[in-house]
Amino acid sequence: MDFIKNKESLLLLGLNGTGKSHLAQALGMIACEKGYKVLYTTCSALINDLNNGVFEKNLTKRIRRYTCPDLLIIDEMGHDRLELQMAKEAHLLFKVVDERYRLSRSLIFTTNVEENDWAEYLGDPISTRAILDRIFHCSVKIEIKGPSYRLHQGKELQKKYEKHK
């Protein structure tokens, strides 16, 4: 958990099924065991919550929820492209990332979106550049390569039942 103590972040990149979410959640559990306050969310849930904060006029309170923990885990950026319809959503994500950056609080961010595709995914190239700038400044970038574990498990299950034919 030195990365939390050192006010650093982790950016976990890789294809679907390679273990990014599992690793992020395991690190979150270890951080909890070490006494750190941790909040886990998916990117989609975070953006939906912040959008609700805009409409309910309590955005500042909702942003505080994501900036106060010692460690924030934002999982699965890339699985919810259809829900990201408005450019302001990139700006909402920027508000959280920027405030955590300003406060030197750690973040674990998982994504299957290539760095060059973030602007298209988030819909706002200017906010995206600012998000990437802050995430990459104090983050250890970990690329997880390999085959999908889920695909592997599915093949093993198939083999198990093919034996019984």
Structure tokens at 117: 């595709």
Residue 82: the pLDDT is 39
- CATH number at 68 reads 3.40.50.300
Structure tokens at 139: 């983050």
CA distance 137 to 148: 29
CA distance 113 to 96: 19
Type of residue at 165 = K
Contact indicator for 5, 40 with CB cutoff of 8 Å: no
Q: How many domains is the chain built from?
A: 1
DSSP labels for 29-73? HHHHHTT--EEEEEHHHHHHHHHHHHHHT-HHHHHHHHHSSSEEE
Residue 20: the pLDDT is 94
Residue 87: the pLDDT is 46
| Claim: this prediction has a pTM higher than 0.85 | yes
C-alpha closest to that of 23 among 97, 109, 135: 109
Residue 124: the pLDDT is 78
* Residue 123 parent element (H or E): none
Average pLDDT, 10 consecutive residues per value, the chain (165 residues)? 96 90 97 98 91 94 97 83 55 92 96 83 82 90 84 74 76
* Residue 105 parent element (H or E): none
Structure tokens at 63: 């942003």
Domain hosting 34: range is 2-162
For tokens 């492209």, what's the residue?
A: 81
CA distance 55 to 53: 5
CA distance 165 to 83: 43
